Structure 1
Amino acid sequence: MNTPINGNDLLALGYEQGSIMGIALRINKKRTGYNRAEMMTHYAAVLAQPENYLDDKVFGKLATAIIEKSNEKPEDFIPLNPNPSAYASYGAEHIEQGAIKQMEIAMQLPVTVAGALMPDAHQGYGLPIGGVLATKNAIIPYGVGVDIGCRMALSVYDIAADFYFENEATFKRELVAHTKFGAGHGFHGQYKTDHAVLESKDFETNPFIKNLKDKAWSQLGSSGGGNHFVEFGILEFAQDDAVLNIPKGTYVALLTHSGSRGFGATIAGHYTKLAKDVCKLPEVAKNLAYLDLHSQLGQEYWLAMNLAGDYASACHEVIHDKIANALGATVLAKVENHHNFAWKEVWNGEEVIVHRKGATPAGKGVMGIIPGSMTAPGFLVRGKGEEQAINSASHGAGRQMSRTQAEKTITKTDMKTILKDHGVTLIGAGLDEAPMAYKDIHQVMAAQQELVDVVAKFTPKLVRMADDGSRED
């Protein structure tokens, strides 16, 4: 059997984890004309004598990278701090080692002031998902994340729970009619929506940003792929909430999760590459390359990041307005928060840049939404302003299975059974988003009682996600 070559195979040949292995594995995904045994022979030979492969069409790039890396010296890189400060961690016993390792590396950056790891944390690129990092005058594109400004938005309607169950078909029709999913998908012609965000002067920051405006316009009001969703559910207030002015009771609510679509992803990729060019960090920390906020590149990224955040918010506004109008519903309250972003905040008496990659702002009195899964409840919360957590909380339950693992181990029957058991109607979604792929939201909430107070519980009933479980672009 011609089994695919994986990282462990290359480690056995003497390759090390990092960019060289990444290049080697990408070669293996292409049609090279070699069988597995021949590929392994070439991999070993390239590593031993890369100069013999510099002009090779298949292995030339790998050979060049190996030679360049062999000539690197420690003084070519910005040194990491060998004695970093400790960071606060919540629910650490349920956080995978990969995420912990990534947080430890982030704490060693010379610009790091403080850090915290949320209970839904899992491994990502650069900063772990669920990682919070405060830096001094530096912005890390991969500390913000690829889906810049990804957020939750909740509309509470003047509709009683009973009305939903009596009219589910109506809610389903409007959900399908006024949402659009799928990586790369958008609207065209008369179906495109205008919004004030498109008039922002920040689209004129530079030609790169300006050229993304048409993409942003076409995808405005869409939700993309991955773990993004639009769902109806029942929101239960166990007591009156004076701040939101909502009496105790149950209400129909709309909950959305998505970000800045292809617009934000393109910005993230572009400025991460530029950051790596100007901020040479050791291999282990290269995805944490940062930009000085006093530099032109730092200012460009800051403007672009904030524009992407505004754009993500506009996408949610379009969706919520369309559905409220279609239902003829009055919105009693709306709560929104983002969780892939960086803010200028004061921490421990000094201004810092707080990166929250998959973490919810939870300053004192700040409202947020922490979802569970398509069958587990989500929670409307109010922050307690815990300084050790850098005024943050989790952004959800967090994955306990990779997408690949979920697709291999969860069956369609498993998925249908759990949906039926919880009375949830699902439109779209792949097995990679099955509820079993996520941590127990109750366990996550129990680990962050110091960080937030629960205001209301949201129970999903009608969920729409990308039809094919597609990844976000």
Structure 2
Amino acid sequence: MPYQELPLTTPNPILSWANHDLSPQEIAMAKNVASLPFVFKHISLMPDVHLGKGALVGSVIATKEAVIPAAVGVDIGCGMAAVKMPFTEAQLDGKLKKIRLDLEAAIPVGFEQNKNVERQVTNWQGWSDFKHLQSGVKNLETKAMKQMGSLGGGNHFLELCLDTDNQVWLMLHSGSRNIGNQLAMCHISTARELAKLAGERLPDPDLAYFVAGTEEFTSYWHDLQWAQHYASYNRDVMMSRFQSVVEKHLAGGKKTKPLLSVNCHHNYAEKEYHYGEEVYVTRKGAVRATQEDYGIIPGSMGAKSFIVKGKGNPQSYCSCSHGAGRLMSRSKAKKQFDLDDLIAQTQGIECRKDRGVLDEIPGAYKPIEQVMENQKDLVEIVATLKQVVCVKG
């Protein structure tokens, strides 16, 4: 299904790849963003679009000479990594639980962090720039070091998957941890204060923005890029450990060479060229999908996931969806489903099956097959994956 232009009276058009009707709150949120004076051309909504803070999750916003920190969000650089390994399903026989337990021991989840800081972490070049970050995070360097190589909570996960050729894949979802969150909150607060001082009437306080060329913009853009690099490297560190765990069980600890590696953001902003002009592109729950890009579109726990190649669709600003998208809130999922539902919906998957992950039940998400059908003009599918081990944050 190609995109449709929503029949709304906004200064900038809203193009949607979703096949479902947006709720009144979602329409209001889309209209708010599309009415901002610095928005470029149009807003693009991905097939998994749903309510967010300030801007819809699953929206791509191109802007001229301005950026909205709350549209990027607080999990700066959140994204995915996936690695295709030279192993097959037969080699996993009888080893899934041991792999899951070793993964849980190797990679801290939730609010946990690493007890020790390994060399791969201390070698990261970004630490030399820490002193130039926003002053509100100056005491967090040690914590940021200990959290690098940790998963976090919510919908973050580690998964061992099989593709349709029964080849083994490793996949994970995580971002910039507490340091990214704190940086984002500092800058969002500054943007709100500036809007207040200027007496600006915004359609939503969360759409407070920074103007290019100002000191505040420069500071935010610097910290944003730093946190995005942190997030990407955080995924690299975890993937190294993930590979070691799998190699221990499937290759006797011998190092192996991945057949394909992908690492992509889906909560971030970058300077890019579109329609012949340089613009700032914010992807809030969306993946870049130029013709050179590989991307990862995960389904929910218990559903399929997809490795994709971009088609470079200009109307979407060369973007695609970042997942299935939530069908219901976490609190609603906990009310609607019980433990028996979770056990039934995650049958055949080695994972936790307790109330602590009930809000991540597959039934709380949109059907991933429909999401993929809606973006045939944005990506082509390279591999279809099904998880056999899942560790939730």
TM-score (norm 1): 0.75
Q: Which residue of 2 aligns with 1:264?
A: 180
Q: Which residue of 2 aligns with 1:290?
A: 209
What 5-or-longer segments of structure 1 have no aligned partner? 1-81, 237-248, 467-473
Helix, strand or coil at the partner of 2:273: strand
1:160 aligns with 2:85: no
- Equivalent of residue 152 in structure 2, options 224, 235, 238: 224
Separation in structure 2 between the aligned mates of residue 370 and residue 453 of structure 1, nearest angstrom: 11
- Equivalent of residue 359 in structure 2, options 423, 429, 432: 432
Separation in structure 2 between the aligned mates of residue 459 and residue 195 of structure 1, nearest angstrom: 34
Helix, strand or coil at the partner of 1:230: strand
Task: Quote the offset at 1:330 in angstroms.
Answer: 3.0
Cα deviations by residue, 1:337-373 (Å, 9 ceiling, x for unpaired): 1011001011111111000000111112311000001
Is the Cα–Cα contact under 8 Å of residues 324 and 330 in structure 1 kept in the other structure? Answer: no
Separation in structure 2 between the aligned mates of residue 197 and residue 430 of structure 1, nearest angstrom: 35
Is the Cα–Cα contact under 8 Å of residues 50 and 57 in structure 2 kept in the other structure? Answer: yes
Task: Quote the offset at 1:283 in angstroms.
Answer: 5.3
Greater shift after overlay, 172-181 or 104-113? 172-181
Q: Which residue of 1 aligns with 2:35?
A: 108
Helix, strand or coil at the partner of 1:308: helix
Helix, strand or coil at the partner of 1:201: helix
Is the Cα–Cα contact under 8 Å of residues 198 and 217 in structure 1 kept in the other structure? Answer: no
Task: Quote the offset at 1:227 in angstroms.
Answer: 0.4
Query: What are the within-5 Å matches in structure 2 for residues 344-363 of structure 1?
Result: 344-363=271-290
1:175 aligns with 2:100: no
Query: What are the within-5 Å matches in structure 2 for residues 58-97 of structure 1?
Result: 83-97=10-24
Structure possessing the higher radius of gyration over alpha carbons:
1
Query: What are the within-5 Å matches in structure 2 for residues 13-28 of structure 1?
Result: none
Separation in structure 2 between the aligned mates of residue 98 and residue 83 of structure 1, nearest angstrom: 16
Q: Which residue of 2 aligns with 1:456?
A: 383
- Equivalent of residue 212 in structure 1, options 129, 140, 143: 140
Higher relative contact order by CA 8 Å / sep ≥ 6: 1 or 2? Answer: 2
Separation in structure 1 between the aligned mates of residue 117 and residue 282 of structure 2, nearest angstrom: 38
Is the Cα–Cα contact under 8 Å of residues 202 and 304 in structure 1 kept in the other structure? Answer: no
| AA of the residue aligned to 2:201 | P
Separation in structure 2 between the aligned mates of residue 361 and residue 134 of structure 1, nearest angstrom: 13
Greater shift after overlay, 94-103 or 293-302? 94-103
1:147 aligns with 2:71: no
Separation in structure 2 between the aligned mates of residue 206 and residue 400 of structure 1, nearest angstrom: 36
Task: Quote the offset at 1:197 in angstroms.
Answer: 4.1
Helix, strand or coil at the partner of 1:331: coil
After superposition, the CA RMSD in angstroms is 1.8
Task: Quote the offset at 1:92 in angstroms.
Answer: 4.0
Q: Which residue of 2 aligns with 1:310?
A: 229
Is the Cα–Cα contact under 8 Å of residues 174 and 323 in structure 1 kept in the other structure? Answer: no
TM-score (norm 2): 0.90
Is the Cα–Cα contact under 8 Å of residues 163 and 385 in structure 2 kept in the other structure? Answer: yes
Structure having the higher strand fraction is 2
- Equivalent of residue 388 in structure 1, options 315, 335, 352: 315
What 5-or-longer segments of structure 2 have no aligned partner? 1-8, 248-252
Structure 1 residue runs of 4+, over 6 Å off? none
Separation in structure 1 between the aligned mates of residue 54 and residue 295 of structure 2, nearest angstrom: 25
Task: Quote the offset at 1:94 in angstroms.
Answer: 4.9
Is the Cα–Cα contact under 8 Å of residues 98 and 122 in structure 1 kept in the other structure? Answer: no
Is the Cα–Cα contact under 8 Å of residues 144 and 342 in structure 1 kept in the other structure? Answer: yes
Helix, strand or coil at the partner of 1:324: helix
Task: Quote the offset at 1:165 in angstroms.
Answer: 3.0
| AA of the residue aligned to 2:364 | A
Aligned length: 370
Cα deviations by residue, 1:3-48 (Å, 9 ceiling, x for unpaired): xxxxxxxxxxxxxxxxxxxxxxxxxxxxxxxxxxxxxxxxxxxxxx
